[in-house]
Structure 1
Amino acid sequence: MSQNTEVVVVGGGYAGVMAANRLMRRDDVAVTLINPRPAFVARLRLHQLVGGSHDAVFDYRETLAGGVRLLVDTVTRIDAAGRGLELASGGTVGYDYLVYAVGSGSAAPRVPGAAEFGYPVATLEEAERLRSRLDDVPTTAPVTVVGAGPTGIETAAELAEQGRRVTLVCGGLLGPYLHPRARETAAKQLAGLGATVLDGSGAKVTAVTRDAVRLADGRELPSAVTVWTAGFGVPDLAARSGLTTDAVGRLLTDETLTSVDDPRIVAAGDSAAPSDLPFRMSAYAAGCLGAHAADTVLDRVAGRQPAPVNLSFPAMCVSLGRRVGIFQFAHRDDTAMRLYVGGRAGAKLKELSCASSVKHLTDEARKPGSHTWPKGGHRRELLRARRDQAATPAGQAG
């Protein structure tokens, strides 16, 4: 074994880059980042790539610390017992510690026809494919966006602002995370852009065909292009490698983000499930969890006990085209406050959030260990409540 402690980070998104940069705090730690693409993808901007207002890609020389070795390849299997990684290229890489930060992507749709005729937008390649498809149809062609989370709302608004005939199919509430007041503002802005919003239980999609979308209430919407943003999934690398995962496939860890199977494997970002109670998927959480994962590894290298993760969500934001946005403030339990900022100010705050998500990485690359984040969320209360519930004998729950 070499004199350095070899740490390999699998995944070059927000969590993986933050972890790799922060690990450079020690001179005796050698860091390798393995990622299937040679460039960093700003996932928060993929809807802009679809709309043509941003390419959503940054050179790793801008985001990754100079001392980090970048290996462009795909990990196909983790050999935890042998502390090795098998690569798609046929090679192998050994490690002393592994940071598992493979992120998330589109969930496999269960709706008939959605996988065949729907266009997801969760990865760079998917967004590029969707943009190419939109270029092939007239601006007047009907476009249906399925899913009313941030990705669906932002994609629908981006396309409607271009003058496209967009219908946003919610299958429930528009922007479930938003406060009702902010939700009303979002609905008005979408209407102002010319988008049609269909919400409620009757607006659940039951089938997708080449040129239409069918809803639970019997309606059939003409759709030259159907954009599918309903749900996210995670890569199955951990499960295929025999590691313990949650029901979705995220690596199951303790509160320090350490795998329940192996103290030399630490998870970060969307692919981590600490205590089987994962954080809300977001670029913000990914960066913070990437930093904490690096701290956990560095603590173990130094012979210290790692600290439990401590993270709160002060806000979330959504863009409604290039000129309007919503910046939604949140309570400590990650529920929406009545307070939000809309209009042009909301758009500026949203743009600041997108830019900051990359700036945090570049700052950490220049000064490892500098990234900080809001602490004091409601996680302890959630964990305590779950323990109390588990300890309550059957039949005695109130």
Structure 2
Amino acid sequence: MESITSAASASTRRTRVAVIGGGYAGTMAANRLTQRPDVDVTLVNPRHEFVERIRLHQLVAGTHDAVRDFAAVLSPRVLLVVDTAARIDAVNRTVELASGSKIAYDYLVYAAGSAEAPPLIPGASEFAHPVSTLEQAQRLRAIVAATPPRAPITVVGGGPLGIEVASELAEQGRAVTLLCGGTLGPYLHTRGRSSVAAGLARLGVTVLEGPASRAAEMTRDAVLLADGQELASAVSVWAAGFAASALALHSGLSVDAAGRLLTDETLTSIDDDRIVATGDAASPSGMPLRMSCQAALPLGSHAADTVLQRISGRAPQDFTRGIAAMCVSLGRRDGVFQFARSDDTAVWLSVPGRAGALLKEAACTSPIDQLAKEARRPGSHAWIVRDRGRTARIAARGLAGLVPAHREG
């Protein structure tokens, strides 16, 4: 097999760091690692473009293409390898790629991300259209474009992605039903939830909540609900949650129940101190942060700091940063910016309407600006929110001292 290394790695005094995944967390980590001139960074990503995942709902509706050239967000000192990581060989410190090549590393940043939670209801694998990747969103965009304007569209999932997809399509004049399978926007405070419900009503989205709104089966042109009701559906969109990449599990590393790599509070794998996890793929002390762009950026910078501290012979610091908001767009002119405590629990304060939409757009633009700045000035990224109660919560749940588990032989 061919071995991929950067040209500068020929010197034995250099440190090779491989980063798996070029999303928000992986790109932030890769950029930040370039602070040291003696570190060679290789980023493995399956695409040439950086995907603005938080805009995929806009891609479906045709209001944004959801991609950027990597040159706009990635340091020129990072070697981009367009390929897919197939397996991590922790013993030999190599990443095996789908192409058959291998990347040798001294440290590995695991930022493999997440994808849609597999739909387990009958017919979903054939007839549901997920929207968690660029390719899926592009396919769905083409399907929607080929569908008659008033044909019924069903969106399964009452979380942020489902709300945003339903809103974007309804704003285009589509007839949309949103199946929450429970509560609309379960993260939101009741005030924020009321604002979202009102915004969806203005757009003409039919919202079904409660246990009876759970999708039980799908066919080519209908969705069967748990209460036996059948909804006509020309296009059925699956937006019912995310699951972590299976790469860590398939590589024999310890993961949590959702497939995230189990780490300590420094984001270091509990199996191997040369592997650090970040973003949606990380489960520090088995108590991960919410899968979100907001969490990805501070997690990405902290993962890089952990690696750099280990290279310098210093003890890495625990992750103490928090996220204190969620923003949901309701088409291009409406939205809700939900404030939260530093432990990511919603509070009564939210900003609805046009102001909420502007804050949401700023929240989509800001990560690109932060990545670009880190590419130009590695080490500049800072995150002001601190979650000082995390240690107490970990102790209360008895999560300290995790041992390897969920390993695949």
| TM bracket, shorter-chain basis | over 0.9
Task: Find out whether 1:136 has 2:165 as its counterpart.
Answer: no
Question: Which of 153, 168, 173 is the equivalent residue of 2:163?
Answer: 153
**Match status 1:80 vs 2:90:** yes
Distance 1:22 1:376 in 2: 22
**Structure 1 118/365 Cα, relative in aligned 2: closer, same or farther at 3 Å?**
same
- CA offset at residue 378 of structure 1? 3.0
Identity %: 59
SS of residue matched to 1:387: coil
Match 1:112 to one of 122, 139, 152: 122
3-state SS, counterpart of residue 245 of structure 1: coil
CA RMSD of aligned residues (A): 1.3
Secondary structure of the structure 1 residue equivalent to 2:397: helix
124-133 or 374-383, which moves further after superposition? 374-383
Deviations 1:165-195 (A, max 9, x none): 0000001111011111111111111111111
Matches within 5 A, 1:236-315: 236-315=246-325
Whether 1:180 and 2:190 are equivalent positions in the alignment is yes
Which residue number corresponds to residue 95 of structure 1? 105
Of 334, 337, 362 in structure 2, the residue corresponding to residue 352 of structure 1 is: 362
**Which residue in 1 is equivalent to 2:394?**
383
User: Is the contact made by 1:317 and 1:350 (CA closer than 8 Å) also made in structure 2?
Assistant: yes
Match for residue 47 of structure 1 among 38, 46, 57: 57
* 1-structure distance, mates of 2:145, 2:33: 43
Structure 1 gaps, min length 5: 391-398
User: Are 2:114 and 2:281, in contact at CA under 8 Å, matched by a contact in 1?
Assistant: yes
The runs of 5 or more residues in structure 2 that have no matched partner are 1-10, 402-409
Secondary structure of 1:348's match?
Answer: helix
Q: Which residue of 1 aligns with 2:3?
A: none
Please tell me whether the aligned partners of residues 45 and 83 of structure 2 are also in contact (alpha carbons under 8 angstroms): yes
Contact preservation (8 Å) 2:343, 2:387: no
Farther off after superposition, 307-316 or 340-349: 307-316
CA distance in 2, matches of 1:345, 1:321: 13
Distance in structure 2 (CA, Å) of the matches to 1:235 and 1:157: 28
Change (3 A) 1:146 1:22: same
Q: Aligned equivalents of 1:216 and 1:376: distance in 2?
A: 39
Question: After superposition, what is the alpha-carbon deviation per residue over 1:60-80, rounded to whole angstroms, capped at 9, x for unaligned?
Answer: 000001111101011111110
- Is the 1:312–1:378 contact (alpha carbons within 8 Å) kept by the matching residues of 2? no
**Cα separation, 1, equivalents of 2:400 and 2:172:** 51
Q: Do the aligned partners of 1:251 and 1:267 also contact (CA within 8 Å) in 2?
A: yes
Q: Deviations over 1:313-365 (max 9, x none)?
A: 12110000000010001023321111100111000000000000111100111
2:398 is paired with a residue whose SS is: helix
C-alpha distance in structure 2 between counterparts of 1:72 and 1:11, whole Å: 10
> In the alignment, residue 366 of structure 2 is paired with which amino acid?
S
* AA partner of residue 102 (structure 2): T
Scaled by the length of structure 1, what TM-score is found? Answer: 0.96
Number of aligned pairs? Answer: 390
Distance in 1 (alpha carbons) for counterparts of 2:274 and 2:398: 26
Equivalent-residue separation in structure 2 for 1:93 and 1:59 (angstroms):
24
Cα separation, 2, equivalents of 1:308 and 1:245 = 19
Matching residue within 185, 191, 207 for 2:217 = 207
Cα deviation for residue 389 of structure 1 reads 11
Deviations 1:141-179 (A, max 9, x none): 000000010000000000000000000000111101111
Residues 108-132 of structure 1 deviation map (CA, whole Å, 9 limit, x = unaligned): 1111111210001110011011111
CA distance in 2, matches of 1:74, 1:82: 19
Give the distance between the partners of 1:2 and 1:161, measured in 2 at CA: 58
User: Could you state the TM-score of these two structures normalised by the residue count of structure 2?
Assistant: 0.94
